[in-house]
Structures are given as structure tokens and as C-alpha cells.
């Protein structure tokens, strides 16, 4: 597990939720829904661990992080096939080329959060 890979993105998530919580004058962040596409390479468990460390002493401490990981959806430019993968093997299963457009799987966003 390479925790440094997730450090900057986790800090960004924390900054976003703390800013939004301040805007609505929340006293506690209870839950955060995060979308992390499979192709980002980010590991939800590492983000969770980093978040627990970084959020100590803030209103986000103890927040439940819920992750949604959309699979990679791709479109082959050579044979026109749309296909999905849960791995980093992006080769078209039909014509075996790497000539593709990524339709989804690179998402990384805070989708919603629950505050008190």
C-alpha cells in the first residue's frame, strides 16, 4: 500500500468538505460520498486511512467515507465496440487494439456529504 500516492488527493477531499461545511455552518461532518473511478489508480482503503489521520481535530474527524468506483467504460476507435473493464487492461476484447476513447473510469469527486 502506497499511502503517499493518496495523500494529496485525500487532503483535497478534506479541504473541499471542510469548506462546504463552513459555508453551511455545520458543526460535524457525518458522511462523505466519494466517486473514485477505477482508472484513477487511487485505492479507497488508502484514502480512508489518510482521511482518518488528516481529519483529526477537525469537524470531519470520524466521518464515514463511502466510495463508489465506476468501472472503466471504453470505446474502440478501430472496431467501434463499447466495452467495460475493472482492470487496467484496456485492450479491446474484439480487435485487440489500444485505439480507444475513455468514456468513464477517470472520475474523482466528492459527490455528497451529510452534516450536522
Q: Residue 6 has what pLDDT?
A: 84
Q: Which three cell numbers stand for residue 48?
A: 480512508
Give the fold, CATH level 3, of 3-115: hypothetical protein PF0899 fold (3.30.2320)
The model's pLDDT over 53-83, given as tens digits with 9 standing for 90+, comes to 999 999 999 999 999 998 899 999 999 999 9
Domain boundaries, the chain: 3-115
Report which of 26, 1, 49, 106 is spatially closest to residue 13, judged by C-alpha positions. Answer: 49
CA–CA dist 48, 65 (Å, integer)? 7
What value does the mean pLDDT take over residues 24-53?
95
Has residue 1 got a pLDDT over 60?
no
User: Could you tell me the pTM of the whole model?
Assistant: 0.85
Q: What is the pLDDT of residues 6-18, one digit of tens each?
A: 899 999 999 999 9
Q: Which residues share a beta bridge with 115?
A: 29
Amino acid at each position: 500500500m502506497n499511502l503517499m500516492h493518496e495523500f494529496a488527493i485525500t487532503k483535497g477531499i478534506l479541504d473541499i468538505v471542510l469548506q462546504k461545511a463552513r459555508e453551511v455552518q455545520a458543526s460535524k461532518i457525518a458522511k462523505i460520498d466519494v466517486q473514485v473511478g477505477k482508472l484513477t489508480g487511487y485505492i479507497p482503503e488508502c484514502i480512508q486511512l489518510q482521511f482518518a489521520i488528516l481529519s483529526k481535530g477537525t469537524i470531519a474527524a470520524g466521518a464515514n467515507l463511502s466510495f463508489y468506483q465506476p468501472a472503466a467504460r471504453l470505446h474502440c476507435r478501430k472496431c467501434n465496440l463499447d466495452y467495460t473493464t475493472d482492470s487496467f487492461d484496456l485492450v479491446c476484447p474484439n480487435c485487440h487494439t489500444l485505439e480507444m476513447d475513455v468514456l468513464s473510469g477517470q472520475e474523482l469527486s466528492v459527490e455528497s456529504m451529510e452534516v450536522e
